[in-house]
Amino acid sequence: MKGWWECVSHLVFIPQDIEKEGKSYLVEKGFKIKVGSDLSQEILMEEIKGCDAVLTRSTAVINREVITAAENLKVIAKYGVGLDNIDIEAATERGIYVTNTPEANANSVAEHVMALILSLSKNLSLADKELRSGNFAIRNQLFGMDLEGKTLGIIGLGRIGRILAKKASEGFDMKVIGYDPYVTASPNSELEIATDLEGVFRNADVISLHLPLTKTTKGIIGSREFSWMKTSAFFVNASRGGVVKEIDLVNALQAGEIAGAGIDVFEVEPPDKWNPLFKLDNVIVSPHNAALTKEGSVRMAVHAAMQVEQVLTGAKPNWAVNEPLTKGVSM
C-alpha cells in the first residue's frame, strides 16, 4: 500500500516570492506551487487552504489562525533562521513540522556584521556624507579606530556568532569573548567563553548581538546594558530588533554613553521613516538584509525547498525545530 505522500499531488504555498532556484527545485520534484498575492492575515488564511506546505519568509505571519485554516498542512519551512513569525506551538499541536535553514546564510550575516563594524570603526558613513557636501577637511576631525587588538563581545554563540568570531580573530586580530547561557565550552581557540553578561559589555570595544527573538529575549538589552559599555564602544545588532529596547539605544547614543551603532533589524519592521535612529550621524542602518546576498538567498530558497520535499515524501527533515505531536495526516 502506498503512503499518503505517494498518492497526492502536493501544493506548496509561498506567501512571498523566493528565488527561482527554490521554486524550480519544488517543480522538478513534482510539486505544485502557489505564490501569495498579499501578506494580510485574511488573505493568508484564504490562500493557504488546501496547501500541504508553506515556504515562508520573515514578513508573512504564520500564526495559529493561519495554521488552523490549512487543514492539510504538514510542514512550515522558513526561508531563513529566525522563527518569530511562526507559531511553533500551534504547528506542533497540529502535527506540523517547522523547519529553518541554519546553514544557508550564517556566513552572509557574519560578513555583513563585519562590514557594519568596519564602517563604524572607520567613520565611513559620516565621512562619505561630509565629503559629498564639500567638506574635505573632515579628514582632520574624524579619527578611526584600529580593530587589531580590540575586543569583540558576541552575545549568542550559534552558527553566525561562531563564524563571526573566526573572522574577527583570524582576519582582524581581535580578541573575542562570547556569552551564551547554553554554551559552556569554547568551540574553537579564537573564542573565550564568558559566564558574566555584564563583564562582556564592560570589556568589549564592540558588542554584536546574535539572539533569537523569544519570550525570554524580548527587550533583554536596554539602558542597563548600554550603561555598562565603554563610551568608545560600538553596538551592532543583526539578529532581531525586538531583543533591544530601541528607545534605550537611541538615548544611549544621544547621551554619548556609547560611540555608535550598526543596526540591521528594528523593533517594528518596516521601521517608520521618522525613526530617531535615522537622524543620528553615529548610526549606520540597513534594511534587515544581512542575510540577503545573492548566494545566501539562493541557498535559503533551496534549503527551505529541500525541507518541504523531505516532509512531503515521508522523511524527517534535516533542520526541524520541533517534534510534531503527530506526523502528518494519513490518507
d(CA 277, CA 279): 5
From the candidates 42, 89, 170, 269, give the one annotated as an active-site residue. Answer: 269
From the candidates 112, 162, 210, 288, give the one annotated as an active-site residue. Answer: 288
Conformation bin of residue 311: beta by default, left when phi > 0, alpha when psi is -120 to 50: alpha
Q: Which helix (H) or strand (E) holds 194?
A: none
From the candidates 10, 240, 299, 303, give the one annotated as an active-site residue. Answer: 240
Report the alpha-carbon angle 323-324-330, nearest 5: 140
Q: Which of 134, 144, 131, 183 is nearest to 161 (CA)?
A: 183
Backbone angles phi, psi at 53, to 5 degrees: -150, 155
Q: How far is CA 1 from the centre of its chain?
A: 43
DSSP letter for 298, please: H
d(CA 186, CA 176): 11
Is 269 assigned a catalytic role? yes
Q: Which of 26, 244, 150, 328 is nearest to 263 (CA)?
A: 244
d(CA 221, CA 224): 8
Joined together, the cell numbers standing for residue 49 give: 487552504
Is 288 assigned a catalytic role? yes
CA dihedral sign, ordered 281, 236, 220, 105: positive
Joined together, the cell numbers standing for residue 184 give: 559552556
Is 240 assigned a catalytic role? yes
The catalytic residue positions are: 240, 269, 288
